[in-house]
Amino acid sequence: MNDAVGSSPVGPACRRVPIALGSSPVGGRTVRRPRLLAGALLGLTLGSPALAAAQDARQIVQEVQKRGDVRSQRYEGLLQVFNARGTVSDKRWMLERLGSYGASRVVLRFTQPAEVRGVALLVVNHPDRASDQWMWTPSIERDRRIALQDRSQRFFGTDFSFEDLEERDVQQFDYVLQGEEAVDGESCWRIQSVPTRTKSSQYTRSIVWVRKSTYTFARIDNYIGDQVVRRLTYGDMADVQGIWTARRLEMTDLRSGSRTRLTLDRLQYNVPMTADDFTLQALRRQ
């Protein structure tokens, strides 16, 4: 998933299926870097009309990915962490992504609060290996390479873990269609996703609900053992430039009771961008 921040011109889209922000199991030795929020958010989208006929679980997931395939993307995100005591903390960022699955580049630049303004992340995805990630810290004028080794850790104080931000290779999971269920009144396929034995993940399995009408995710429950530990919901669906997109994602840590909401604003697809803006030099310039 490190290597799938967005649509993928490299290799068949069906080979790598980003289950989007924080969904389902991943982990895995082939995935060394998570793709962070920036990239993950891209995979939440779905597009195009309904598929002609019902497919098996794997085909459904592949179709979800295929419909989110875009050349570039930009949005402003609002990240709100609601802890168990009711305290809310907000962060804002601007995200830009160029390229699609397997070879995309993402720059995520924090804009608020003042303490983190200017901090930026560059994610360079590779089709055949883990992504490279750098963080730019303006206060010490230093970039640092980020190696994510423990993906069960919280992502910078949010309720997402680093693993939740990774895209997953569809081939590294076994899917079972468990039937149909309504989520928020919408008819969905209920699919169980279990990492294959070659994958390592903090989660033992995930249950994914995919909206039948738009081939978009509605909800993902992540399990450790028999306990649901994190729940991700996708809401505020909108058709943005022909792509069905969830504009509000909410991850709940069911153990601590805290939740994190990500709201996408000013979302645009296929915006003109140049590769020069997605380099370490560019990161340092701004």
Binding residues (CB under 8 A) for another protein: these are: 81, 83, 87, 89, 91, 110, 115-116, 118-119, 135, 137-140, 142, 144-150, 153, 156-157
In the complex, the smallest distance separating the C-beta of residue 265 from another protein, rounded to whole angstroms, is 20
* Choice between 118 and 242, CB closer to another protein: 118
In the complex, the smallest distance separating the C-beta of residue 279 from another protein, rounded to whole angstroms, is 19
Count, in order, helices (H) and strands (E) of the chain. Answer: 3, 14
* Choice between 245 and 260, CB closer to another protein: 260
* Choice between 25 and 34, CB closer to another protein: 34
How far lies 15's CA from each of 8, 22, 81, 92, 225, in Å?
A: 10, 19, 33, 32, 28
Rounded to whole angstroms, the Cα distance separating 43 from 65 reads 7
3-state DSSP assignment of residue 237: strand
Are the beta carbons of 168 and 5 closer than 8 angstroms?
no
In the complex, the smallest distance separating the C-beta of residue 96 from another protein, rounded to whole angstroms, is 19
* Choice between 7 and 258, CB closer to another protein: 258
In the complex, the smallest distance separating the C-beta of residue 146 from another protein, rounded to whole angstroms, is 6
In the complex, the smallest distance separating the C-beta of residue 173 from another protein, rounded to whole angstroms, is 21
In the complex, the smallest distance separating the C-beta of residue 139 from another protein, rounded to whole angstroms, is 4
Categorise residue 198: left if φ over 0, alpha if ψ from -120 to 50, beta otherwise. alpha
* Choice between 113 and 242, CB closer to another protein: 113
DSSP at 6: S
* Choice between 155 and 278, CB closer to another protein: 155
* DSSP result, 37-65: HHHHGGGG-EESS--SS---HHHHHHHHH
Mention every residue, 6+ apart, whose C-beta is less than 8 A from residue 84.
256, 257, 258
